[in-house]
Structure formats: structure tokens, C-alpha cells
Chain A
Amino acid sequence: MVIAIGFEGSANKLGIGIVHNGVVLSNCRRTYITPPGEGFLPRETAQHHRSLVLAVLSQALREAAVTPEQIDVVCYTKGPGMAPSLQTVAIVARTIAQLWNKPIIGVNHCIGHIEMGRMITGSDNPIVLYVSGGNTQVIAYSRNRYRVFGETIDIAIGNCLDRFARVLKLSNDPSPGYNIEQLAKKGKKFLSLPYVVKGMDVSFSGILSYIEKQSYQLLKSGEYAPEDLCFSLQEVLFAMLVETTERAMAHCGSQEVLIVGGVGCNLRLQEMMETMCHERGAKLFATDERFCIDNGVMIAQAGFEMFRTGNLTKWDETTVTQRYRTDAVEVTWR
């Protein structure tokens, strides 16, 4: 029986979670929320994490009802992410690993999302759509690696949505993407936007600049409401994602899809994916915001898998890295 604690802080969420052989004991999180129209900056985000990390740690231990002695392994996000906030959280993980005299494991953030998605939903060998603020990838598992089958060739889906939310000056609470989703539900009039699928890859930057340029005029003239623009943007972006996911499924002969990452809790995206799956007799696996959005449990879970297959991180390798590809990790537990 293994108890693992995970520390996550690669972007604007600070999360600490504890898992006990695939059972979530606690999942605590704080989000750094910026004023409308503003994104989060590395330095301020790190400051936010620093000021809260100890409080969140004691909360995670308390809710899990475990003592430090009972913990078997300390896991933290090694990357990818923003250096200052990664650093802040890694220092805390390193410190308590030494203090409590526990082994430590540096986890790839994306692998964390995938492993937790698999654990929570019980999906076995899905095509993974990983969609978040910094990432957009279609991933297939093959021969001990999560292989990137398709991805964005420019900005990430979440980044695209966030930046449009800023144009509309939407609130960042709880997240810009959530607020776009709510407005989109009331949208009716479809604005035709570029649709850019290149083989397995997608591109969003052209769509974003197109809608950014048009929106002022369209809104001012009353031709379109903000709701309509959110609706149109979602419909087009998500259709592109569903299409590339389907392409990967057809090629790999897969009958399962797992959606992970912060944008993955968007219910419209889930609904569209579900429709696609239904049309090909496949099954969709998705989770809600507790697990989709960055959290500590995902790091604990991936760390647990690494731990049980003897994949510990050497002390002098417990660094962080801003860039860390999903396919750079050798999967020892599958």
C-alpha cells in the first residue's frame, strides 16, 4: 500500500493532493485570479503560490487524515510550466522530502493529467485529447510512450479562449474559459470563422486574430452579441478538436477517448465528443473540474505509478524545466 502526495503549481493553480493506491484522500486547490482583461504573470503567480502553499499543505494532510510518517513518496511537477511557480512549489516538495526523509519524484505535468484521467474514469487504452491553457495534443499510447499524434501548431486552445475572454473583458473567476462557456450557451447567431485542420494538427492563431479584429465592429453595430461570438468560437474550435481526435481513433483503431486538461471540463466539448463517439460506436471518458483542472492528485497519481515501478528521481535531478514533452517520458508502468 502506497500513499503519495503530489504538488502542482505549473500555472495559476496551486494544488496539493494525496492518493492511496488509486483512492483520492484529499484534493486541495487555490487559483490565482487576475482582474478582467488581464492574464497571470509568472512572478505574481509564484508569489501567490508561495503565500498559500503551507496552508494548503496542512489542509491536504488534515482532509486526508494522514500524518507525514504515513506518506511513502513526495511527488512534484517537474514541468512543463512557468519557471518561477514551478520553482516555488518544487522547493517546498524538496524541503519536505528531506524533512520527512521520503523519496522524491519529479512528474511530467501532462503525464499527470493522463494517468489521473485513466484512474478516475477507468479507461484502459484511450486516445487522449489533452486540452488546457498551454497545451493542445492528441495522444496515443504505443510502446512505452505517450506519443503525440497531433497538436496545435501555434497557440493552445485554452490560450485562445482566454485571450478572447480578455477582448470581451470577461471575468477570470473561476476561469475565463468557464465564462465563455456560459455565454456561449445563450449564443444563437453563428459567425463563420476559419476552420484550420492540417492533417493531425490544428491551428488557432489565425482564428483568434480574425475574431479579435472583427469583434469590435460586429458588437458595436449590434450585428452580433458577445454570446454569439463565444458560441461561434467554441463551435469552430471544438469541431476541429473532435475531428482530429476522430482521425487518431480511426488510424489507431481505438474505441475510447479520454479528455483531460482544464478545457476538458467544458460540457459543450464533452457533448460534441460524445456525439462523435456515438457515431462510431466508441466510448467517451471525461472528468469534471475537480480533476480536469490542474491539481495535486494528478501529480500524486502519476508519481505513484512511477514509484511502484521503481522510477525514483535522483536528488540532483529534482530540478524543474519549462519545456518537457509528453513523449520524452518513458512509461514504465504500462
Chain B
Amino acid sequence: MADDGRKCALGYDFKLIKQGAEAKVYKGNYLGRPTIVKERFKKSYRLLDLDNHITKERIKSEARAVLRCKIAGIHTPALYLVDFERRCIYMEDVQNSTTIKDYITQISEEAENEAGTAGSLLMKLYPIAQEIGKVLGKLHANNIIHGDLTSSNMLLVKDEKDTLTIVLIDFGLSHVESSMEDKAVDLYVLQRALMSTHANVDRLFATILDAYMKENKKESHEVLKKFNEVWARGRKRTMVG
């Protein structure tokens, strides 16, 4: 992030805060509101035409999914502006938020320092896992496939009363689809993302899945069946050196 502090394309008001999986994320003020600008900057490793095409698709998907979520009552940052020319999306800066990934890491470290047991760690994460499951259940019940479900793409907001809210972000790979296959793959992506970053995820993921089933009741049986299939397929994939 060499250009931190440098005047970015967006002006001095915006400060680069993160480089995510595909975008640079700036924080600042737009029309008096705390704003995040997500710039899908040009990837010079890709041919220009290809990159332009992909970026346009991603921005479109993201904007579409956010609107769809809004209608479905799923928390996402409000959209302020889409600027295809500059490859930017302006959206609400979710105040007092941390990514689920950072939160789990922080809680795990605390538990370690307090010599807490894995059990007490799980106790702390349990309500969050439940909340995540609930949100994902709702997402899928509305046929929204996220496409990149990782713990970096979920924000946790805690208000004064300690109420937990999960806010979903990063919808660039999302699409609308009612198939069980796509829903199962979405969950499979999440499981692997958790596995490669967090300890004790088996229980965590089980809790998420449980809450998901309760929320997406109508499809729960079929999605679970498909999930097991997708999982087994992953295991079985022939791997010739």
C-alpha cells in the first residue's frame, strides 16, 4: 500500500485503508456522510480488455446484490454512487464494525492470554456463529448467492446494548440463482475459508450450518444434501501429480 496518504484519484478527503481481495478501499466523506469507496483498480497483470470487462461485471453484480439484499431485509452498506468510469463504488462506511475474521482472531488471542479453554472461546463465538447462519439462510432463501463467503467479507457491528448485527459486503462475485448446487458451493467456500484461518472451526461451522437450516427451512434438507455431495466431490477429486 505504497500510496497511503498520497492524493488518490478521489481527492485528499479519502484515505486508503485497505487493499482487499480485488479492490483498494478508501475511507472519507461524501456529501457529509462517512463513506467507503471501493476502487476496483486496473489489474495490470490482466489484458486491458479482459480487465475492463471483468471489472464492469463485478461492479454491476455488487450493486445489484446490495439492492436485492436491501429488499430482503439483509444488512449491507447503503449504496451512494456507482462510478463505472473510475471503477468505484461509494457506499456507507459501516461505523463501529470489525470484520468477522479480525473479531475471531481477537477473541482467540484473548482466550489464549486468559488461558481460557476452547470451550469458553466457543461460548463467546456461539452467538456470532448463530447470527451468521441466520443471515446466510436468509440470503439463500432469497436466491442470492454471495460467491465469495469468507470471514473477511462479513462485518460485525455491536451497538451500545451489545446487540450483534452481521453486515455482508463484497458482492462482486454474487449472482441470483435458485439452484441448490450454488447455495451448497457458497457454504463450502465459507467452510474452507474458515478452515484456513481459524482454529476450532468445525464446531463454529456446525453452529453456522445449524442456524442456516433453521432460517432457510424450506430448502434446508436439500441444501444440506447437496453440501455433503459438494464436499465429497472435493475430497474425491482425482489428483494426479
| A residues in contact (CB < 8 Å) with B | 8, 10-11, 77, 79-82, 109-110, 132-135, 140, 142-143, 147-151, 156, 190, 192, 195, 197-201, 235-236, 239, 242-243, 246-248, 250-252, 271-273, 275-276, 279-281, 294, 322-326
Return the contact of A149 from the options B50, B101, B152, B193 (Cβ within 8 A): B193
A247 touches B21 (CB 8 A): yes
Pick from A151, A200, A251, A275: contact of B197, CB under 8 Å: A251
B50 touching A134 by the CB < 8 A rule? no
- Residue of B46, B149, B173, B238 near A134 (CB, 8 A) is B238
B107 at the interface (CB under 8 A from A): no
| Complex: chain A residue closest to B199, CB-CB | A143
Known pairs A195-B50, A325-B235; A200 contacts B189 (CB<8 A): yes
Most buried by A among B19, B45, B173, B197: B45
12 further contact pairs, Cβ within 8 A, besides A8-B241, A279-B43: A11-B240, A110-B239, A133-B240, A143-B199, A150-B192, A151-B234, A192-B53, A198-B189, A201-B185, A236-B50, A252-B197, A276-B45
* Bound Cα distance from A258 to B198, whole angstroms: 22
User: Which residues of the other chain, B, contact A82 by a CB distance below 8 angstroms?
Assistant: 240
Residues of B within 8 A of A10 (CB): 240-241
Q: How many A-B residue pairs have CB under 8 A?
A: 132
Asked if A251 meets B239 with Cβ closer than 8 Å, knowing A239-B45, A279-B44, the reply is no
Residues 168-202 of chain B: 1 if any A CB is under 8 Å from the residue's CB, otherwise 0?
A: 00000100000000000110010011011101000
In the assembled complex, B215 has its CB within 8 A of some CB on chain A = no
Binding site for A on B (CB under 8 A): 1-2, 19-22, 41, 43-47, 49-50, 53-54, 101, 147-152, 173, 185-186, 189, 192-193, 195-197, 199, 234-241
* B199 contacts across to A, CB distance below 8 A: 143
Please report the C-alpha to C-alpha distance between residue A229 and residue B189 in the assembled complex, in whole angstroms: 32
B196–A201 touching, CB < 8 Å? no
Of B148, B152, B197, B239, the most chain A CB neighbours within 10 A belong to: B239
Residues of B within 8 A of A197 (CB): 173
Q: Is the CB of B238 within 8 A of A322?
A: yes
Q: Verify A323–B238 contact, CB threshold 8 A.
A: yes
In angstroms, Cα B238 to Cα A10, docked, is 13
Do the beta carbons of B45 and A242 come within 8 Å of each other? Answer: yes
User: Can you list 22 pairs linking A and B with CB atoms under 8 Å apart?
Assistant: A8-B241, A80-B239, A80-B240, A147-B195, A147-B196, A150-B192, A190-B50, A195-B54, A197-B173, A198-B189, A199-B185, A200-B193, A239-B46, A239-B47, A242-B46, A247-B148, A250-B20, A251-B21, A251-B151, A251-B152, A252-B197, A279-B41
Q: Which residues of A contact B149 (CB under 8 A)?
A: 199
> B186 to A246, Cβ gap below 8 A?
no
Min C-beta distance of A188 to chain B, whole Å:
11
